[in-house]
Structure 1
Amino acid sequence: MSELSGRGHVAGLPEWDRCAVMGVVNVTPDSFSDGGRWFDTTAAIKHGLDLVAEGADLVDVGGESTRPGATRVDETEELRRVVPVVRGLASEGVVISVDTMRASVAEQALAAGAALVNDVSGGLADPAMIPVVAEADAPFVVMHWRGFLEGGNVRGVYDDVVTEVVDELHARVEAVLAGGIAPDRIVVDPGLGFSKDGTHDLALLAALDRLHALGHPLLVAASRKRFLGRVLAGPGGAPPPARERDAATAAVSALAAHAGAWAVRVHEVRATADAVRVARAIEGARAPQHDTEGAL
């Protein structure tokens, strides 16, 4: 499914003519990729604006690390980190996604100008999340999630990872719909790296068509993740640091765009912005097939 029509449109957001690029602003001291670099509100806002200048279509602002083993921050601290950054970027006209598992943070971020709620738990971590998003009539990302990753609680055992992820996402989407979120405001995300090892992540990327069959726009968030480090290291090698995985991230972005993803979520925007535009240009250059029988 590489045709543009297969991407879908998310109500309440701009409509892009290609796979959108979601830039990441982590307002945290402990993110796996860039923890502490944008922890200051002013620095975080500047970084978000820089990402837009480099080609991001929307910016995902998060105040809580979801890396394996990370300890949750309390609600007050997450609000302190996130809301001023959302407000500052919104005042500059940036399309903002808020990355949070807390309904209170989602509610205040939406009030401050966020347009989309990106909840890695798909509404499971906080039972108030779905009612808040439904009441705001906001778009919502439903990610595949099997619980918090603290203390090694990975639960990454699958007999058939693609079938199980699709089935579990389908069940979660049904629950979100039952909670009052409109079907044209739902995005699905396979949750690469969450309760999954590298073979699981690669299998899911190889089967994006199965995820499209859920009937909702698809967000792919592979940026700098562990499975890319392992691919680059090769057998027995040491994985490169997270910030040295951006070329590999751009490769995944191009493949995801070609496969019909609605958006890709990345830390380093420029290479991925170029990649998705090239993928779109190739789609546009695809010649229509004509029946040439008898033409000679």
Structure 2
Amino acid sequence: MTSIPDRLFFPAQRMAGVATLALLVGGCAAPSAEHEAGPGAYTLSDLNEQLVMATAWMQSSAEYRALSHQAFNVARDQLDEALARHGNDDRPLAVVVDADETVIDNTAFEAYLVDHDAAYNSELWHQWMAAREAKALPGAVEFLDYAVSQGVDVYYITNRDADALEATRDNMAALGFPQLEGEHLMLRTDSSDKQARRDRVLADHEVALYMGDNLADFSSVYDSDVPAERRARVAEQSEQFGRRFVMLPNPTYGDWEGAIYGGDWGASPAEKSAARKAVLRSWQPDASATP
């Protein structure tokens, strides 16, 4: 999937063969995935049913809001500790945050996909960004305002395409996010790897903490299509989480999903569903046991 936000950037070559739904301008409905696939086939509509619970949880549950507040409370505590250690001669402190599903909420876009039997495509995502309708995650604006009030610089590093800069800035400004000018808001240009942009911040700042919903928001070391490798790298850096790295929950999309497919985003809906179920660890009752 090309031109995808932080949440879901995949190199274009991985997307060869992915069936996308052509949107008809002017409010016409997208063609039915079931109609395109033929009767009896496992369709995109079927696959999108698996997105319903995750989207419903993020949009309706108090638990999701609690986890968001918890993440920003942890971030504030860690920032306060960094401020206490910071000396007058040290480089300025900064906080680096992802945008999509870290400080802004795009779940209405996911709900659209479910409602319209649609798949992500660049044109549709750009329409969503241009609509400027993303919402702030609970606690995000308050935390970043606090950071700025303490003299800490905020940098937003997102894999939204650079041509969405104006729409993204407008959307976030309307929500009250601070420090959106210049390089404080860094969108993707030539690479989805965020390390070069992180390095620009590190050149003249000490980064107190990073926040994201995807492991690649923290380090390029997590760039792997093998789930076991990703888990192993988390174990190696376990002491960083809740301290220098603060995660936000996002069960709707991310590199974790691509890893389930081995990086093959061109898989059919049926193949994707099978791959998802294949990673489940299932309990098997003892057949000889008496109920």
Band of TM-score, shorter chain: 0.3 to 0.5
TM-score when scaled to structure 2? 0.34
Structure of higher CA gyration radius? 2
More helix by share: 2
TM-score when scaled to structure 1? 0.33
Q: Relative contact order (alpha carbons < 8 A, sep ≥ 6): 1 or 2 greater? A: 2
